[in-house]
């Protein structure tokens, strides 16, 4: 199967590839070492229109689609996964909920800055006791007059503490319906009293990506900050996650590709026992397997993206793409590190950063096990009752 690209899509891919090689890659090591997200790089992505790619022109977007977004994310991830996830989360988790579920007033207030890359927003779903089991949400929001009063905590929230972070959308229990939790989504602007962005995490990888825990202690926001229909917050966020898995799969494909490119280049110049490593069959076979993983992962995410953009069901295909691409990134990072030998253990080399960064691709936006569960359900297999 081949996924054909239009001339415009090829131009976008090439433009972002050049930006990744000329702007993103040179700063990646220092950004990783200092755990600093370059706001200049973020601004550059905004000026290129990357944050507005999958949104209509009438709301300030570029008139593209998720396929276009995936092309951009893949190319960025070759050079620096932290930058790629900043774009992915900024679009899929920050702006998309406002576009899909927001009122006209909410779109008018927030979308312009988000799509221009002048502002970022977080996606507050995960909690200390509610990760893959997001239905176990404990954060609460109760109405007091015309205000929501929010209490609880969120964790692992990307783009929540940058200088241009404007708000987070959070899922919270807003009541009960037939004995089950009623979960809604509420916009909480930065600067709201009682809303605290806690110190950044000390992470294994994605060092230049902004990630914080959040806490809410009687944080009050207007009743109009409800995003979407009351009681439909969890369902809305599941839809957001399905789309986000396509983008994460594109990111993982880029990471796998970056590892392959670095390993091929290194194997051609690394002399071992009098000849280039690339001339040895064992290295050739390793690189061939790495190429096969990149090819398979790219087909998977592009197929899922085309389905989504055509308005067709894509939930299972997105899970397959996330599963295949996440494993490809981790496997290629391991093999590339082995090709590099001792140098692969040095952080100045991109494969070392990919090795640390890629593991989260098997965890974030749905673990490998969650993807397998989604795929199994599509086969008509039922979960065993407790």
Mean pLDDT of 35-46: 98
Mean pLDDT of 305-319: 97
Residue 55 tokens, joined:
């949104």
Is residue 109 assigned to a domain?
A: yes
Q: Please identify, among 58, 92, 120, the residue that sits at the C-terminal boundary of a domain.
A: 120
Range of the domain at 82: 7-120
Q: Residue 199's domain is classified under what CATH number?
A: 2.40.110.10
Asked if residue 386 has pLDDT above 50, the reply is no
Residues 96 and 134 in one domain: no
Which of 130-144, 151-165, 227-241 has the highest mean predicted lDDT (pLDDT)? 151-165
Residues 197 and 182 in one domain: yes
Is residue 147 assigned to a domain?
A: yes
The DSSP result for 111-159, as a single string, is HHHHHTTS-EEEEE--BTTBSS-GGG---EEEEETTEEEEEEEEEEEET
CA 160 to CA 212: how far, in whole Å?
6
**Number of structural domains in the chain:** 3
Residues 98 and 176 in one domain: no
Q: Write out pLDDT tens, residues 317-326.
A: 999 999 999 9
CB 93 within 8 A of CB 263: no
Q: Residue 360's domain is classified under what CATH number?
A: 1.20.140.10
> In the chain, what percentage of residues exceed pLDDT 70?
97
Residues 140 and 209 in one domain: yes
Q: Please identify, among 120, 145, 165, the residue that sits at the C-terminal boundary of a domain.
A: 120
CB 119 within 8 A of CB 112: no
> In the chain, what percentage of residues exceed pLDDT 90?
90
Is residue 383 assigned to a domain?
A: no
Residues 220 and 272 in one domain: no
Is residue 1 assigned to a domain?
A: no
CA 232 to CA 112: how far, in whole Å?
25
CA 146 to CA 52: how far, in whole Å?
33
The region that residue 220 occupies, defined by phi over 0 for left and psi between -120 and 50 for alpha, beta otherwise, is beta
Asked if residue 209 has pLDDT above 90, the reply is yes
Residues 15 and 37 in one domain: yes
Residues 129 and 67 in one domain: no
Residues 188 and 64 in one domain: no
Residues 169 and 299 in one domain: no
Beta-ladder partners of 168: 122, 188
The residues assigned a catalytic role are 365
Residues 26 and 128 in one domain: no
Q: Write out pLDDT tens, residues 70-97.
A: 999 999 999 999 999 999 999 999 999 9
Q: Write out pLDDT tens, residues 88-125.
A: 999 999 999 999 999 999 999 999 999 999 999 999 99
Q: Residue 39's domain is classified under what CATH number?
A: 1.10.540.10
Is residue 384 assigned to a domain?
A: no
Cα Rg for the chain, rounded, in angstroms? 21
Q: Please identify, among 191, 212, 231, the residue that sits at the C-terminal boundary of a domain.
A: 231
Residue 67 tokens, joined:
């396929």
CA 294 to CA 332: how far, in whole Å?
9
CB 139 within 8 A of CB 170: yes
Residues 79 and 126 in one domain: no
Q: Write out pLDDT tens, residues 329-382.
A: 999 999 999 999 999 999 999 999 999 999 999 998 889 999 999 999 999 997
CA 55 to CA 60: how far, in whole Å?
7
Is residue 103 assigned to a domain?
A: yes
Q: Write out pLDDT tens, residues 166-179.
A: 999 999 999 988 87
Is residue 277 assigned to a domain?
A: yes
H-helix or E-strand containing 197?
Answer: strand 195-197
Residues 114 and 125 in one domain: no
CB 23 within 8 A of CB 50: no
Is residue 73 assigned to a domain?
A: yes
């Amino acid at each position: 199967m081949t996924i054909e690209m239009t001339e415009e899509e090829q131009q976008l891919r090439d433009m972002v590839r050049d930006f990744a090689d000329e702007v993103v890659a040179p700063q990646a090591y220092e950004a990783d070492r200092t755990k600093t997200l370059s706001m200049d790089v973020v601004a550059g992505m905004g000026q290129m229109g990357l944050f507005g790619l999958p949104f209509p022109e009438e709301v300030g977007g570029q008139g593209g689609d998720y396929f276009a977004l995936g092309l951009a994310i893949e190319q960025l991830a070759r050079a620096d996964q932290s930058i790629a996830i900043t774009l992915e989360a900024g679009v899929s988790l920050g702006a998309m909920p406002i576009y899909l579920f927001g009122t006209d007033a909410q779109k008018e207030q927030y979308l312009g800055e988000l799509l221009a890359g002048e502002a970022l927003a977080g996606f507050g779903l995960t909690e200390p006791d509610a990760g893959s089991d997001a239905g176990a949400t404990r954060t609460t929001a109760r109405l007091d007059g015309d205000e929501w009063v929010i209490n609880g905590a969120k964790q692992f929230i990307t783009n929540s503490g940058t200088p241009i972070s404007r708000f987070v959308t959070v899922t919270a229990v807003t009541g009960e319906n037939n004995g089950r939790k009623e979960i809604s989504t509420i916009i909480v602007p930065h600067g709201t009293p009682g809303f605290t962005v806690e110190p950044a995490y000390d992470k294994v990888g994605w060092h230049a990506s902004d990630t914080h825990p959040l806490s809410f202690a009687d944080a009050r926001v207007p009743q109009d900050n409800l995003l979407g229909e009351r009681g439909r917050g969890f369902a809305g966020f599941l839809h957001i996650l399905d789309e986000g898995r396509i983008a994460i799969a594109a990111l993982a494909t880029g990471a796998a590709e970056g590892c392959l490119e670095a390993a091929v280049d290194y194997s051609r110049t690394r002399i071992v026992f009098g000849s280039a490593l690339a001339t040895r069959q064992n290295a050739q076979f390793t690189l061939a397997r790495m190429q096969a993983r990149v090819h398979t992962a790219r087909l998977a995410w592009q197929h899922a993206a085309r389905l989504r953009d055509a308005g067709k069901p894509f939930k299972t295909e997105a899970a397959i793409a996330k599963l295949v691409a996440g494993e490809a990134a981790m496997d290629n990072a391991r093999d590339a590190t082995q090709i590099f030998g001792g140098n692969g253990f040095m952080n100045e080399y991109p494969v070392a950063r990919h090795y640390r960064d890629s593991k989260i691709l098997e965890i974030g936006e749905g673990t490998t096990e969650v993807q397998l569960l989604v795929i199994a359900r599509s086969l008509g297999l039922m979960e065993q009752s407790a």
